[in-house]
Structure 1
Amino acid sequence: MKSAEILNLSLEDLKDDFDELEVIVFYTLEKLCNFYYLIESLKKYSRLETLNTALENTRYFEKKFLNLSTKISKIKAYLKKKKPTLEVVNEIQETKEKYFEEIRTQIHTIASIITSLDWQSPSFSHSIYTMAGKYTGKIIGTINDYKRDGRLDNQILEKWYLKQYIDAKFKFNIHVYATNSGMAAFSTILNFLIMEKKAENNVLIGKNIYHENKKLITKCFSDKLFMVNELETDKIIELIKQKKPSLIFFDSLCNTKNIPVPQLSKIIDFLTYRYPHNIYLIIDNTCLSTTFQPFKMVQGKNRKLRLIVFESLIKYLQFGLDRVNAGIITAYGKDTEKIMDYREHLGTNINDIAVYTIPQISRKIYENRLKRLSRNAYLLSSLLQTYIANNKTLIRQIIYPMLENHPAYPWAIKMPFGGSFLNLDFQKPNIKIYKKFIDLTVKKAAKRKVNISGGTSFGFNSSRIYLTALRIGNTEPFVRISVGTETYLQVIKLKEIFLEVINDLSRFKLF
């Protein structure tokens, strides 16, 4: 691809990036504006000094974000007039990163301000001054008078999530429960299944589900557990027929070395139309998020099939902010409404500040971000794989579901999103070489002034590299590259850095 075309694509990327920042800023201003009017409504029930402090804080950040909104509008107008030169792209990229960090460092403080008048144990009545903050007049004794149990704050996030991010013909019978982390979501589900005695028969799990979930399931159901290879769809269906499991656990896209992708549409189709027994299908949808929509596949088709889907909200849905831990459960079918009671009794409800920290913005903006992450992962993985296939290096292959060398390619290529991380398959397993590879990558990136971090997780604005599963028993450690929402030009620079590291280490014949 010619450099002019790369610069043009990069400038278009930056336009989309500023659209995203603008929407986050608008959402934040809307929250501040709503809180401002709420403060005015509490004058009869609160000390004026307290309200004035809240007003002062609100106005301070409202002014800052209005100023930031103006700056973003000017940048967007500037981008329409400018030709895509290297200088312009680099200048705008730096500005975008600066504005993003400005938002990131303040959005949690703003969430704290919005909840600053609240009490974790709000009052349902008062003689002089309220102790219910913005929920004054909405608290009912023994019903919603203890925030840990969850009622009002979490419903804001849950209603928005159901409306924006869940595809289903009818939504009134789909239950959504926000939790304080992805693991809290899974722990809540697991306790519900155990205590309600839902594992009457066998339990079937994908052998590459998230390692912490796998450990908990193994401890709980070791006497009736069967593990399956996620890539062997026909064998999975045959085993379901034979073992008649009550519970099935899968990840929609697995975060292990080979990144297996189960053919869930085919498995769900079998369970919906050809499986006559009661069954719970539990899916960790963290790695595919809204791009995999199973509820429309099952709703109204088989009363014996219950579907529970959960996701960590610290990954994609925070738009790279990575400020609060949170998770979400979405459930359909008989008895799944009881999950709310287990969230209450286990204390896994989402923190009130987290509700107002997570940007609750349109699905279109969110899925544009996912498309960028997927494009970058595919672009980087395909460029690296093409080089490796034609040269002798210490890397055997690049692992990414949308590459032709991946066993899930026949169905993964049809997905709208292939995940945002790729893994390196080395010729010989060697922890020292893995660490050397990561260290050298970061050093070379620093010399080229390219931002890449050594760290865990995924879904950020800038790429990360990480030695995964180093301290997990019975799991092979591997090197994972989690791409960010970089521009096309930045991905090309990342490719050059990785190839330089691969060639440097390959010269030492470490394979």
Structure 2
Amino acid sequence: MNDKLHPTTKAIRTQIDRTNEMEHSSPLFLTSSFMYNDVEMMRAAFADEIDVNIYSRFSNPNVQEFVDRVCALEGAEYGYATASGMSAIFASFMALLKSGDHFVCCSSVFGSTITIINKYLPNYGIEVTYVSATNLDEWEAAIKPNTKMIYLETPTNPGLDIIDLEFAGKLAKKHNLIFNVDNCFATPISQQPIKYGADLVVHSATKWMDGQGRVLGGVVVGKKELIEKIYLFCRSTGPSLSPFNAWVLSKSLETLDVRMERHSNNAFTIAKKLEGHPKIERVVYPFLESHPAYAIAKKQMKNGGALVSFHLKGGLESGKKFLDALQLLTLTANLGDSRSIASHPASTTHVKLTDAERLATGITPGLIRISVGLEYVDDIINDILQALEKS
């Protein structure tokens, strides 16, 4: 393929080999295994002497097409797709860290990621030091002789803090650390962490990559030598992406660019409208000039993304009243949908964390997170405003 093509064009035009039927849309390969012409071909396949499909837990044409498209968007060498975003994150830890290793993690990460780090990684002798998303002086001080990795999200979940990827990339390179970035919230349309030195980029493809709340999926892309280790871990442990879900996700990537333009334009309009509202203490959106890291966001992001957070003055009770008063926005355990979704992290996604852990990730009792959809923006705004009046 022409290297001069835009990444979005490459992603749309990256397809699996056409069959004799010459389908324009990629066919589905709903099979658990693949056949061989003879014993010698089968032997060579299992010996990794030829590049053919063996078993859909290892590889599948639909899954590979999805991975190749994400690699095109992220500018990555290699990738592997998993059954969910959390399995991609878990695999990026378990395949590359061992007993006695240490890694540095931003304190503002997804609640399930914190659960993995705090509850399960210690069982394998892997330790972590959490650092602030907003105080970069803590980062280098946290590095130890046995540190192997830096892991972060930007924008963070759900407080929408912005971490300087250039700073983190240089720090990782200085200390020869694996730089691992969850890029789910920005999507590869808004930012490409590999440009700033990231070795690995993980996504919950369930979110904007699908974009319509239909299927689960995850993907990790990056340096070939690291992805090969992740592949071998996943090949044995089995968190593989189904061919059907891969087919859905691959088709969805063809519209990711145009969808994210509408999502982010809607989100920016809503954020500006809500600033200064008497019932809101603070609105958080990366492309608002009031955001503390506005300059960094403008440097490394194409748009501000599709999430808007705001802190209600009335705290926990106001948050509950706000959600109950919504008439258009959906209450559901997801984000990145074509339909706008509202959540109250303190009582839902991060409810199992302690008060201190929630505050460390920027979650106040009155924090509301809006995953802005593709509806007509005035309809979204009107629903938020009427719910605020009742909160």
TM-score bracket for the superposition, by shorter chain length: 0.7 to 0.9
Cα distance change of structure 1 residues 155 and 383 upon mapping to structure 2, 3 Å threshold: same
Q: What is the one-letter code of the residue matched to 1:150?
A: S
Aligned to 1:68: none
Offset, 1:185: 0.8
* 2:336/2:373 contact within 8 Å kept: yes
1:342 has 2:342 as partner = no
CA RMSD of aligned residues (A): 3.3
* 1:121/1:146 contact within 8 Å kept: yes
1:119 has 2:31 as partner = yes
CA distance in 2, matches of 1:462, 1:333: 36
Aligned to 1:366: 256
CA distance in 1, matches of 2:382, 2:145: 50
* 1:124/1:140 contact within 8 Å kept: no
Aligned to 1:332: 223
CA distance in 1, matches of 2:331, 2:218: 24
Cα distance change of structure 1 residues 381 and 335 upon mapping to structure 2, 3 Å threshold: closer
Aligned to 2:88: 185
* 2:87/2:218 contact within 8 Å kept: yes
Match of 1:409 among 294, 304, 308: 294
Aligned to 2:149: 247
Write out per-residue CA displacement over residues 96-145 of structure 1, whole angstroms, 9 at most, x where no aligned residue: xxxxxxxxxxxxxx99x833xx531333249xxxxxxxxxx999653633
Q: What is the one-letter code of the residue matched to 1:297?
A: Y
The alignment partner of 1:217 has SS state of helix
* 1:124/1:139 contact within 8 Å kept: no
Residue correspondence of structure 1 range 85-484 to structure 2 within 5 A: 114-115=28-29, 118-125=30-37, 142=46, 144-163=53-72, 165-167=73-75, 174-194=77-97, 197=98, 201-219=101-119, 220-221=121-122, 224-240=127-143, 245-256=147-158, 258-272=159-173, 275=174, 277-290=175-188, 291-298=190-197, 307-318=199-210, 320-332=211-223, 334-360=225-251, 365-386=255-276, 388=277, 391=278, 393=279, 395-414=280-299, 415-430=301-316, 432-442=317-327, 445=328, 452-470=329-347, 471-474=351-354, 475=358, 476=363, 478-484=367-373
* 1:177/1:328 contact within 8 Å kept: yes
Offset, 1:406: 2.7
Offset, 1:336: 4.1
Percent identical pairs in the alignment equals 21
TM-score by length of 2: 0.80
Higher relative contact order (CA 8 A, sep 6+): 2
* 1:149/1:344 contact within 8 Å kept: yes
CA distance in 2, matches of 1:287, 1:250: 12
Write out per-residue CA displacement over residues 319-361 of structure 1, whole angstroms, 9 at most, x where no aligned residue: x232221111112165542211111011022111122222447
Write out per-residue CA displacement over residues 239-295 of structure 1, whole angstroms, 9 at most, x where no aligned residue: 44x667222110121112x222211222212333xx1x4311211111112122122
Cα distance change of structure 1 residues 355 and 396 upon mapping to structure 2, 3 Å threshold: same
Q: What is the one-letter code of the residue matched to 2:117?
A: I
Q: What is the one-letter code of the residue matched to 1:120?
A: S
Aligned to 1:493: 379
Cα distance change of structure 1 residues 248 and 140 upon mapping to structure 2, 3 Å threshold: same
Write out per-residue CA displacement over residues 291-332 of structure 1, whole angstroms, 9 at most, x where no aligned residue: 22122333xxxxxxx7111101111112x2322211111121
CA distance in 1, matches of 2:256, 2:213: 15
Which one has the largest radius of gyration?
Answer: 1
Question: Which is worse superposed, 308-317 or 331-340?
Answer: 331-340
CA distance in 2, matches of 1:349, 1:311: 14
CA distance in 1, matches of 2:126, 2:31: 45
TM-score by length of 1: 0.62
CA distance in 2, matches of 1:427, 1:139: 67
* 1:139/1:145 contact within 8 Å kept: no
* 1:461/1:484 contact within 8 Å kept: yes
CA distance in 1, matches of 2:103, 2:253: 37
Q: Which runs of 5+ in 1 are unaligned?
A: 1-22, 40-61, 63-109, 127-136, 299-305, 446-451, 506-511
Q: What is the one-letter code of the residue matched to 2:104?
A: L
CA distance in 2, matches of 1:38, 1:496: 48
Q: Which runs of 5+ in 2 are unaligned?
A: 1-8
Offset, 1:379: 0.9
The alignment partner of 1:162 has SS state of helix
* 2:69/2:253 contact within 8 Å kept: no
- Structure with more helix by fraction: 1
* 1:123/1:139 contact within 8 Å kept: no
